[in-house]
Amino acid sequence: MHFPSIFLTLSVVVSEVSGAAVHHHVHRRASLTCYEDNSLRTLERFSTDAAAFCPKFLTSPSEKIPSSLVGVAASKLSSACACFQKTAAPANPVSTPALSPTSAPVIAPTPTTTSAVKASSQSIATAATSVPAAGPTGLAPGGRAYSGGKRGLVYDYNSKDFNKFFKDSTKIGFGSNWNLKRTAAPGVTFDQGPFVPTVRVDGGLNNNDWIDGVKALISSGTSMIFASNEPDNRGQANLTPAQAATVYKKYIQPFQGLVALASPAITNGGGDTGLGFLEKFVGECRDCHFDIINVHHYVNRWDVNVEQAVSAVKSFLTKDVAAFKAKHPQFQGARICLGEFWLWGASDEDGADYLRALLPWLDGNNDVACYQGFGGLWQGNFINNAGTGLSKSGQVYHDL
């Protein structure tokens, strides 16, 4: 989803070091700029390995290169590591489809004081229908387990009536569309399972419809709510960690104990994006509760083959995300939602192979509560170019 780019003023600082295109806050003094290339992208995809390797390599070039990083050109390893150590940008920020102007939330000022949040929480607890408390062992006190199916279907107002191609699938457990309402546009809806809403706010960090809307959804079976979509991405929610924390406290935290609460969905970028952003967010949201850690993962087909792309997802979830969870008590017992993932730029055949390799692993991983392939209900993705049926990757997502 798109927000006006009003929160962060950024500039690009140019220097002689090559690696990735880095955007710096204007107040930050920076002597390093990098250019996006496969070397830095490899380090970002295997960031746990890179974080252990690069500091040693930069002081001792004879340091053995881990197998996950052998694809980095030797001539670029030093500069790529230097960039990775500083402020790596997302490998390829991906914009989710824009929502129609008519679906924007009503703009109205709302109190944000602690007492207002507590009062709101009490009224929600009285009015909403409670979700069954079944959940994984170790769920933090006062939390709720997500009780829906693992595989989600993303759609928006451009999805036409393409949901009909998935209505007979037994694999789809929920749907979402980066907004509060199940019906994204006239005739475009999801009616085969629970709907998971995503909070989005106006320039004043307000959404006047959210509280009542979520209450109604809980009554109809919703068991999880998503916080801000990619606040670390300028093309999406575009919030600072402090702003994302304000939104979370105001609109997500009050539903603790009623539904599973998902942290803001972050990209798999490096530096101040991705888990680096979430680190700062947690520092601003120390008293917040999380049942789900929501992460997105994209890689480019022109950078990697299908096997490497699958390996990158697995490494991100089992190393990077797992290490982040272990570091923060607030995520004790939290499961992972791979809220968006895709092999960007893949052919239909490669997309199908990617899903064939990855979906069984996601389904069998108990730490993964849910996932959504970004192929989605758009022509040329899970829907064929003619709009007459499923593509090869869509058929795999429907059946496997």
Contact 300, 92 (CB under 8 A): yes
The whole-number pLDDT of residue 81 equals 84
184 is a domain residue: yes
Instruction: Say yes or no: 160 and 283 in one domain.
Output: yes
Instruction: Say yes or no: 257 and 346 in one domain.
Output: yes
Instruction: Say yes or no: 70 and 118 in one domain.
Output: no
Return the higher-pLDDT residue of 71 and 36: 71
Enclosing H/E stretch for 352: helix 348-364
Residue 145 has pLDDT above 90, yes or no: yes
Least confident interval from 14-18, 230-234, 248-252, 253-257: 14-18
Q: Tell me the average pLDDT across 283-296.
A: 97
Q: Tell me the average pLDDT across 112-135.
A: 42
Least confident interval from 79-93, 96-110, 242-256, 366-380: 96-110
Instruction: Say yes or no: 224 and 295 in one domain.
Output: yes
Confidence at 38, pLDDT banded by 50, 70, 90: low
Based on the structure, what is the number of domains in the chain? 2
Pairing of strands 224-226, 172-176: unpaired
Last residue of a domain, one of 85, 118, 139: 85
Domain housing 78: 10-85
Residue 14 has pLDDT above 80, yes or no: no
Contact 189, 114 (CB under 8 A): no
Instruction: Say yes or no: 76 and 108 in one domain.
Output: no
Instruction: Say yes or no: 203 and 286 in one domain.
Output: yes
234 is a domain residue: yes
Confidence at 142, pLDDT banded by 50, 70, 90: confident
Instruction: Say yes or no: 38 and 185 in one domain.
Output: no
CATH number, position 241: 3.20.20.80
Helix (H, G, I), strand (E, B) or coil at 19: coil
Distance (Å, whole) CA 194 – CA 373: 17
Contact 39, 83 (CB under 8 A): no
Instruction: Say yes or no: 56 and 190 in one domain.
Output: no
96 is a domain residue: no
Least confident interval from 2-11, 145-154, 249-258: 2-11
Instruction: Say yes or no: 67 and 34 in one domain.
Output: yes
Instruction: Say yes or no: 45 and 120 in one domain.
Output: no
Distance (Å, whole) CA 250 – CA 241: 14
Q: What is the pLDDT of residues 168-193, one digit of tens each?
A: 999 999 999 999 999 999 999 998 89
Instruction: Say yes or no: 81 and 106 in one domain.
Output: no
Instruction: Say yes or no: 27 and 172 in one domain.
Output: no
Last residue of a domain, one of 28, 54, 85: 85
DSSP for 45-114 reads HTHHHHHHHHHHHHH-TTSPPPGGGTTS-GGGHHHHHHHHHS-PPPSS--PPPPPPGGGSPPP------H
